[in-house]
Amino acid sequence: MTIVEWIKAFAHDISVGIVVTDAAIERPGPIILYANPAFGQLVGRDPVEIVGQSPRFMQGKETRRETLDAFHRTLSSGERFHGYVTNYRGNGAKYRAEIDCRP
């Protein structure tokens, strides 16, 4: 087993939503490389189907631009972002997500 396979196997059974992207901060990045089943459940989408998309698909009308600007700035400086955003599920239902994003 490679280390990536091992990490995926570990993430598969965890109840916290995990999403891994590439390191491209500017559009069209960041691109989703992997999402665990708990993340699929949280966003109401098939985790396999969201690979290749940007996490921006979860954003909508009530997602605060100021929060996203802070998120962008933090990622640009290579730091960890911790915050709360309003996001939307595949069926349009709104939820509040606590985000802990590590470079």
59 token code pair: 């954003």
Query: With 0-12 CB in 10 A as exposed, 13-18 as middle and 19+ as buried, what is 37?
Result: middle
CB of 20 to ligand FMN, least distance (A): 6
* Nearest position to ligand FMN, beta carbon: 55
Question: Site residues (CB under 6 A) for ligand FMN?
Answer: 19, 21, 27, 30, 54-56, 58-59, 63, 68, 71-72, 75, 85, 87, 97, 99, 101
Nearer to ligand FMN, 1 or 59 (CB): 59
- 43-49 long-range contacts, Cβ below 8 Å, gap at least 24? 43/17, 43/87, 43/89, 43/90, 44/89, 44/90, 44/91, 44/93, 45/89, 45/90
**Residue nearer to ligand FMN on the CB measure, 2 or 53:** 53
Q: Shortest Cβ distance from residue 53 to ligand FMN (Å)?
A: 10
Write down the least CB distance from residue 74 to ligand FMN, Å: 9
- Opening angle at CA 17, ends 15 and 19, nearest 5: 140
Give me the least distance between CB of 52 and ligand FMN, in Å please. 13
